[in-house]
Structure 1
Amino acid sequence: MSDLTQAERERILAKAALFSPPVYVLPDGRRDLVGLDKDELAVEMAQIGEKPFRAKQLWHWIYHQGVRDFGLMSTIAKPLQEKLAERFVIGRPEVVTDLLSKDETRKFLFKFRDEQAVETVYIPDRQEDRGAVCLSSQVGCTLSCRFCHTGTQRLSRNLGAAEIVGQFMAARDAYGEWPSPKGETPRLLSTIVLMGMGEPLYNYENVAKAMKIVMDGEGIALSRRRITLSTSGVVPMMDRAGAELGVNLAISLHAVTDELRDELVPLNRKYPIRELIEACRRYPSASNARRITFEYIMLRGINDSEADARELVRLIAGLPAKVNLIPFNPWPGSAYQPSTPEALKAFAAIVMQAGYASPIRTPRGRDILAACGQLKSAMEKGAAA
């Protein structure tokens, strides 16, 4: 890493701190335990005179069993249950709305204690009895991608680790997916995609902490292979995410020239395509078994020509990759139109002939504005200047 790259990384983290989430202590003084890592949980126990093994017990009940009531923690004696209930809570975001699409996609509007809210989507896989939870990482977004409805909601603040992991836990609550008394655990919520509201790498510290909690083998225990982080290309943070998390990587590319990408994805002016592709080539977990996904939204007459397809193939040559072609999902006030079916098929054929999988993503949840690029909180307030 050059000094400039390190300086840029520090600048990003400093900027993120300006939009830091609140530390959740309830008006009655109780502290929320969700979002604390194992060491922090042990510190909380030490401060009330309990030994470290209590933190391990609590971790199991909170993240493996999904229990929110200390009184239901059967391995903890009643006096300690009462002591914990006096000092702590095990929180969840509040469900404001819960919408179900005709294709069974489900969109939640979750509200946090400071009245800020985000949308979270569960996308079932029709071929298998499982699906993905699309998590948000920020309230609003700072990137202002031209085709994205979420990008029209100005950034309010970052989500904390508790609020990020809390979205997944609340979705598990909704589907009854915590272990049953008989030990039968459904596997509907089998993967996480960090593709909701916000740019995850502009909130890296909180996203990383939340995903480490999710991946811990003694709790939720979701494999890193079942987590995908999507970024518009915050290049200085991509190396760190690869080294520390090693989750799957998805790149919101959407154009093959800097001139067009500068317009569609303004972040490109800071980290142009060449730098972005170089960062992809460095990403440590990229392999034939774990390909980098390039997300490419298809806009009629803008980026969907056969020449664009050939240039895309040239850009990613040699990378273990696949290309998700995403039909544009219109939203109120959008200036773009979806590509024609003929253009989609021609584009996909060129990419496939070059040896790259290029599925055309079936739009999901359009009727409830839950499809790609359509998320936007209905409770915008307190947006940052």
Structure 2
Amino acid sequence: MNAEMVTSSAQLDEQKSPSPSVASETPTKINLMGMSRSELEQFFVELGEKKFRAGQVMKWIHQFFVTDFAEMSNISGKLRAKLEQICEIRVPEVVHRNYSKDGTRKWVFRVGDGAGSLVETVLIPADDKTGARKTLCISSQVGCALDCSFCSTGKQGFQRDLSPDEIIGQLWVANYSYMEEVAVAERERTVTNVVMMGMGEPLLNYDAVLSSMQIMLDDFAYGMSKRRVTLSTSGVVPKIDQLAKDIDVALAISLHAPNDELRNELVPINKKYPLKELIAACQRYITKDGNESARKHVTIEYVMLDGVNDQPEHAQQMLKLLKNLPSKINLIPFNPFPHAPYGRSSRNRIMAFQKTLSDAGFVCTIRQTRGDDIDAACGQLVGQVADRTRRAAQWKKKVEEKNMIVRVTGDPDS
């Protein structure tokens, strides 16, 4: 989990907002939302139809945002009736949505049967030279198993993987939110960039994430540029190598520490895949011929934690660590969550850190905080998900016990 956002249970109860295509009277119907073109082709062949029907239906779903088979005018009435009988086009239920005055949008989705679980998605707009860029941060799991020490979602524990329809459905809803009142023939895809950077570790839900990204790149669906689809990982090294073989998308690494000792504390998966192995995997990932590849560099994400990883020696260690890895560095001001043991680095400290890296020739940016008025600041994305592992309660107790020791002894290291 690389990015988090806070939503209270009260907000969820007060601001429920139904999705246009959630209701389904027949749960056993086949959901076409998350099916790739090859899967749809096989599906239509098994129905006794031609493969080209797959492309037609994909366009209706992902380019015109139609969920009613009756509106698919270039498909025969007989086939439409058959699809209506056995299929559905369904996205996760939207239980909360909020739009910031700065253009940031946030959704909370319920996934699963019954009460289900909650995941969150954030859209962050930014003006660029070509027009309005809209980046969507998508979740891949309910909760997270990696337990990074600065991450609120990690304290909730892991519940389950999201399915392809639950992943791609987040992109569908974000696009549809701009065209609910737009005539079908005039609808256009609005989201320009996707980052697999929300709740969960994408590479630990590999097959569903891969399938979803293939739909994002498919010209019959969203037709996104491979350079505008980014997968962010905390460093699952074997899956980075597998990803390089299966798809060409941009790669981001949640680094957060420039040495193994500190990263073991902040990002525990580092104990299994230390920095030397991670950097080597990144170097292998960007070794690819072809001018159109998205693998020209790796994006390094680095949350700035006051007094923890923001010292001058850490910047120098970063220079040494990344000297042979083409990379762009994104410094992220930490957004504290309840009982977090860290604070945000000062603006001056962040800028000094940036200057050290920039002076050495790295492209280094400071992420701008957006959507503060809707608890959607970039750098934090956390859902109020039921904690089935009691990890959040255990974390809260641990922090409270440490605070008590400090009050009694005055020694924070006791």
2:396: which partner in 1? none
Indicate the percent of aligned positions where both proteins have the same amino acid. Answer: 44
CA RMSD of aligned residues (A): 2.3
Distance (whole Å) between structure 2 residues aligned to residue 177 and residue 224 of structure 1: 27
Any stretches of 5+ residues in structure 1 without a counterpart? Answer: 1-24
Please list, as runs of the form range in 1=range in 2, the aligned pairs for 1:222-371 lying within 5 A after superposition.
Answer: 222-284=224-286, 290-371=296-377
TM-score (norm 1): 0.87
Determine the structure 1 residue equivalent to 2:97: 98
* 1:56-67 alignment runs, 5 A limit: 56-67=55-66
Counterpart check, 1:136 vs 2:139: yes
Q: Distance in 1 between matches of 2:85 and 2:200?
A: 35
Residues 261-314 of structure 1, C-alpha deviation per residue, up to 9 Å, x if partnerless? 111101111111111111111113678983211111111111101111011011
* Structure 2 residue aligned with 1:380: 386
Structure 2: how far apart are the matches of 1:210 and 1:188? 18
The question of whether the paired residues in 2 share the 8 Å contact of 1:242 and 1:285 is answered with no
DSSP 3-state at the match of 1:175: coil
1:74 aligns with 2:77: no
The aligned residue for residue 125 of structure 2 is 124
Conserved? CA contact 1:250–1:294, under 8 Å? yes
Output one character per residue of 1:108-135: Cα deviation in whole Å (capped at 9) or x when no partner. Answer: 0011242222100000104442210000
Report the more deviating stretch, 286-295 or 197-206.
Answer: 286-295
SS at match of 2:363: coil
The residue number in structure 2 matching 1:5 is none
Amino acid corresponding to residue 122 of structure 1 in structure 2? L
Cα deviation, residue 103, structure 1: 2.7
Tell me which amino acid in the other structure corresponds to 1:358: C
Q: Is the 8 A contact 1:193 1:230 kept in 2?
A: yes
Aligned partner of 1:6 in structure 2 is none
Q: 1:376 to 1:311 in 2, by over 3 A?
A: same
Change (3 A) 1:369 1:184: closer
- CA gap of 1:85–1:182, structure 2 versus 1, over 3 A, is closer
Residues 37, 213 of structure 1: 8 Å contact kept: yes
Amino acid at match of 1:236: P
Shift of 1:362: 1.1
Structure 1 range deviating more: 146-155 or 279-288: 279-288
Q: Kindly provide the amino acid, as one letter, of the partner of residue 299 in structure 2.
A: T
Question: Runs of 5+ in structure 2 lacking a partner?
Answer: 1-23, 392-414
Question: Offset of 1:381 from its aligned partner?
Answer: 6.0
**SS of aligned partner of 1:359:** strand
Cα distance in 2 for residues equivalent to 1:208 and 1:79: 33
Q: How many residues align?
A: 360
1:181-230 residue CA offsets vs partner (Å, 9 max, x unmatched): 56563x64100001100001111111001100111112211111111110
1:141 and 1:198 in contact (8 A); partners too: yes
Which of the pair has the greater relative contact order for Cα pairs under 8 Å at 6+ separation? 2
State which drifts further: 195-204 or 94-103. 94-103
TM-score normalised per structure 2: 0.81
* Local SS of the residue matching 1:82: helix
Structure 1 position 71, deviation (Å): 0.4
Q: Which amino acid aligns with 1:105?
A: T
Q: Is contact 2:286-2:298 (8 Å) kept? A: no
